[in-house]
Structure 1
Amino acid sequence: MLKHIPPIISPELMKIMMEMGHGDELVLADGNFPAASSARRLLRADGHGVPELLDAILAFYPLDTYVAHPVTLMAVVPGDSVGQPAIWDEYRSIVSKHGDDRGFEYAERFDFYERAKEAYAIVATSERALYANIILKKGVIPSQ
């Protein structure tokens, strides 16, 4: 154990975040996402939801400031009766709390899958909300 690192951040997840470079992407996948068949590197966060993990990650993970939208959500499939997922408002609040108000990019379902296959890592969660998948593009920490 280390001080100030939330227990939801596993040693493996902390290692992955530290290995990642500028522009690399991290996927937080809901429980329905085909994480194992898509991942280059698969991390398990069983028993956890995406919002609590997102909040813990953003305490350490700089979002890319060189792109318009460093956060991408899977767009609702046209014709799906789900409507706008309520979890997106929760994500907006969490991302804003950590200092980013640029809004989100929305990727069509199969485009999201293809992008996830190229991501540095996928974190598989037990999130039950539909359309709860999120991609985070890593930024840089400016020199002081």
Structure 2
Amino acid sequence: MLKGIPSIISPDMMKVLMEMGHGDEVVLADANFPAASCAQRLVRCDGHRVSDLLAAILHYFPLDRSVDMPVVLMAVSGNEPIPDVWKEYKRTIQLHGEFRGFEYIDRFSFYERAKSAYAIIATGDQAPKANILLKKGVVRE
């Protein structure tokens, strides 16, 4: 254990986040996402919600400022309702002063992009369309 690091961030997750460089991407995946079959590196975080992990991670993880949309969501299709969890994501990202909007891509494009992500963090979140992809930026202190 270390001071100031929330217990929701496991040692394996912190290691992966620290290994990532500028422009690398990480996916926070819901329980229905095919994480094991898509991941180059898989971090299990069963029993946690994506929104809770997002809040914990953004304290340490800068979003990429060199791209227009460093946050990607899996788009809804047809007449699916807009997921409530997306409002939580927006509020969380705004609290960290990083919100510039979301990029939305269809399900299969999201899967393909996830396959090239540095890592996928698999959660137990059962909220519909709770998947979110983050592009890492540069730490500025």
TM-score of Structure 1 vs Structure 2, range by shorter chain: over 0.9
Give the 5 Å matches for 1:5-44.
Answer: 5-44=5-44
What is the aligned partner in structure 1 of residue 80 from structure 2? 82
Runs of 4+ in 1 over 3 A off after TM superposition: none
| RMSD of aligned residue pairs (Cα, Å) | 0.8
Partners in 2 of 1:136 and 1:7 — Cα distance?
21
In the alignment, the residues of structure 2 paired with residue 106 and residue 128 of structure 1 have an alpha-carbon distance, to the nearest angstrom, of: 20
Q: Distance in 2 between matches of 1:21 and 1:100?
A: 18
> Using the alignment, how far apart are the partners of 1:111 and 1:95 within structure 2?
23
Alignment coverage as a number of residue pairs: 141
- Equivalence map 1:1-144=2 (5 Å): 1-77=1-77, 79=78, 81-142=79-140
AA aligned to 2:73 is L
One-letter code aligned to 2:101: G
Query: Which sections of structure 1, spanning at least 5 residues, go unmatched?
Result: none
> Gaps spanning 5+ residues in structure 2: where?
none
Give the AA of the match of 1:98: H
TM-score of the aligned structures, taking structure 2 as reference length: 0.97
Q: CA deviation at 1:101?
A: 2.3
For residue 82 of structure 1, report the CA deviation from its aligned partner.
Answer: 2.9
Q: Secondary structure in 1 aligned to 2:111?
A: helix
Residue 100 of structure 1 deviates from its aligned partner by 1.3
- Rounded to whole Å, the distance in 2 between the matches of 1:126 and 1:70 is 24
Look up the equivalent residue of 1:2 and give its one-letter code. Answer: L
